[in-house]
Amino acid sequence: MMKLSFDPYMVFKSSKTPAGLYARQKWLGESHDRRWKKDFDETVEKLIAEQANDGSWHQSEVETIGRLFGLHLTVRETFPRIEAALKWLMNKIDLQSGEHQHGIGSYPTTENLDGLPFICSRPDMFLIGATLFLATIFGQLKHHRCTLNIQGA
């Protein structure tokens, strides 16, 4: 067995990022710590701040996807604001026709995907893939926009 000279989890010890909070909760066992709860509440509040009534953040698919992924790492469960954001994203895609809509400023770049489990790709493929991923992790795959109607299957 190899001994490490330092604890690799300590990089997360005071992190307030969604990934850091996840690590602190799951790997460092801090979920009952007052400081973790305060950091968690602050981060979740920042993630949901400025959400529009339509469910998006600034009418940007990339930002909305990023915020939803952050909420997945922190809150872990769906709630009405998450559902509204997913609905907004799902209304941008139609797997039946292959049509999609994406707004200006919603193009995935290396910079705006930093910290997300997605790669820079064509906007339509990014939007469809990320939306289906988020719909899956938040239990929304039964939405009519997330299903393919395959003839003869």
Task: Say how far residue 73 (Cα) sits from the centre of its chain.
Answer: 8
Whether residue 106 contacts residue 131, with contact meaning beta carbons closer than 8 Å, is answered with no
As to burial, measured by CB atoms within 10 angstroms (0-12 exposed, 13-18 middle, 19+ buried), residue 103 is middle
Element (H, E) at 24: helix 18-26
CB atoms within 10 A of CB 40: 21
Element (H, E) at 100: strand 99-100
pLDDT digits (tens, 9 = 90+) for 9-66: 888 989 999 999 999 999 999 999 999 999 999 999 999 999 999 999 999 999 999 9
Task: Say how far residue 135 (Cα) sits from the centre of its chain.
Answer: 10
pLDDT digits (tens, 9 = 90+) for 108-121: 888 888 889 998 88
Residue 151: predicted pLDDT: 41
Domain ranges of the chain: 50-146
- Model's pTM, two decimal places? 0.84
